[in-house]
Structure 1
C-alpha cells in the first residue's frame, strides 16, 4: 500500500508543505486557547489550527450540519485528493472507501446543542444533533461528498486509532477496493471537551508555551491538547507506480492493548509491526514516538524502544510537541511528517526537551539529515491502546 496524497490541517499549518516547514524550523503552533476563554480552567494552552474558517474552506451548506472536526477533515480530504491527483468522479464509486479515526467526535457541536436544550428547551435543538456529534460523521460526510460507496468505517482508539485506521485501509486494498481515504482529525478544544480530557490527569497545566509539553524529559508535566490532523490517500502500490505517485509505502502494521495495572505490551506490538513488514530492527532509520509527556508513560515507551532496537541504537523524535496531541488526528499527522522526512532525507527534531531520559537517542536541537528510508511510527491511546506502523521509501 502506498500513500499518494497528504491533506494536512494542523496547528503547524494548513497544508503539508507549510506544516513541514514549521516542523523543520521548530515553529510551534501552541498558544493560549482562543476558541473560548480558558481563564477558569487549569489548562489554558492548546494547539489550535490557525486561520481556519469553515465557510471559506468547505461548502457553506455543510457548515451548520457538521462539527469543527468534520470541517477540517473535509478540507483535508479535498487537499489530499488534489495532492494525489485523484478525481473521484473518474473512478468506480464502489472501489473507493473511507476509514477515519476519531477520539472525541463532534464535541463542540454537541455542547452547543446541549446548551440550547438545557437553556431554552427541546425546540432549540437542531435536527443535525442526531448525526453531527457521531464518531462516524466525518467518514460519512467525506464519502457522500465524493461519491465513495465502498466499505466505510471509523476507528475509535484515541491516539492509537489514527494508525489503526491506516491499518484497516491496508486490509481493504487487499480486496476489491482500489483507493481509501484514511487518517483523521479531532477537535475537542471547547469547555465540554476540555473538561472531559482533564479527567485523565495527563494534561499540562503549564502556561509556558516553550515548556508545557516536554516528552521524554525529566521536567515533563503532561501534554498540551490540540486539534486537527491529516487525511491521507492510500492506493495499491502497482497503481500508484503507474502514475509515478506516492510519498512512501506502508510496509507493516500491528496493534495491541495494555490494560491498566498489567505489563506493557508495547514492545510486542513494535516487534509484530516489524515482523509484518519483514524488516529487522537494524534496518529502521528513525522512530516517531508517541511521547505522552508523562514521566511514567514516557519511561514505558522508552524502555519498549530500547528493548526492540537496543539502547540508543535508533534516532527517536516526537515533533508533535509543536502541535500538541491531536488524538484521532495525531498519528496520521505523524505519518504525514514521517513521509515528508523520508522524501527529504531528514529526521525532524523534538524542540524544548533539555533533560532527556536515558535509553533512547532523542533527536534534539535540530533536524538530522541522515537520509531515512525506513521509519517506525508509534501511537498510544488513553486506556491501553497502542499501535505501530512501518513506512518505507519508494523505489523510483
Structure 2
C-alpha cells in the first residue's frame, strides 16, 4: 500500500482534481454556493473542504477507500458551510471510483452503505423539517451516493467479465498451442518409426554384404554381394519414395495415396531376409494361424512393422538356425511371435542404434497392447519377440 501512495497519480486523476479545484474557486468568487452555514461556521471553510476534496481526487485509483473516507469528511464540512457544487460533484466521483477501483468487498458494501445512508438522511430530514421538501433532500442524497455507486458496480462487472473472457481466450490459445505441439511431436515420432522400420532392414543388408565383399577375396562372392547391395539399395529407395508420397498425401500434393504395408507382404519380408543372410544354416518360416477375417489397418501395419524389425534384428544378431514368425489369436487379440536362436558372437553382423525395439514398444502402446522381448524363460537359447495387439471382435470379420 505505501508504494501505491508514493507512486505519482495518473494524468486523468490530476486533471479531474485541477478542474474541480478551479471550478470550485470560480463558483466561490461568483458567490454561487448554496445553503446557510450551520451553527455559525464561517463560509470560508467551504474552500478548505474544496481543497481537501481536490487532493483526494489524486488518490481515487491508488487508494480509493482512503480517498472516499477523507472525501466523506470533506463533503460533510462543505454541506455545513455553504455547499459548493464542485465539491459535491467530486465526491460523487470518489464514490464511483471506490466501487470501480477498490477491493472486491467494495462492490458489495459501498452501494449498501449508500442506500442505508440515503434512507437515514431522508428520515432525519422528514423528522427535522416535517415538510414534503424533505423528500427532495433524500432524492438529492441518492443522486450523490447511490447513483454513482451502482454506476461503478455496472462498469466493474462489465470490466471483470471482459477480463475473464480475455483470460479464457488466452487459456484456450495456450491449450491449442500445447495440443499443436503434442500433435507435431506425435507425428514426428510416427515418421521416425516409419523411416526406421522401412530403411533399417535394407541398410543392414547393405552393411552385411559390403563387409562380406571386403573380407572375401573372391570375384564371384563379391559380385553376388554387390547384387544384393544393389537390390536392397533399390528397395530402400522405393520405400523412401513411398514415405515421401505418404507425407505429400497428407499435405495434398500426391495424386494418389501410397499403399500401406499389410500382413499379406510377410512372405516377401522373409524372402528378403533369406537373401540378406545368404547362409544355408538359416531358415525363415512363417506360421499364420490368424484364421479368416480382415484386420483393422492400424493393427496390420503395426504387426507388419514388428515382424519387419524383428527379422532385421535376427539378421544382425541371431545365430544360425530357424527364425520363426507366428501369427495367432488370443482372447480377441492378434499375437505376433518372432523367435530366433541366440547368438554367441562378440558383436552383431551390422551396426545399429537400438531404436528398433523402442519403436516397436511405441507402436504397441498406441494400440493399447503389450510387447515383450528377451530370452525365452527356461530355455536360454531362444530369443523371442511377442506382441499382443487388441482387436475389436466386431472389426475382426
Please state which band the TM-score falls in when normalised by the shorter chain: under 0.3
Q: If each structure's strand is expressed as a fraction of its own residues, which one has the higher value?
A: 1
Q: TM-score normalized by structure 2?
A: 0.25
User: Which protein shows a greater Rg?
Assistant: 2
Q: TM-score normalized by structure 1?
A: 0.25
Q: If each structure's helix is expressed as a fraction of its own residues, which one has the higher value?
A: 2
Q: Which has the higher contact order (CA 8 A, sep 6+)?
A: 1
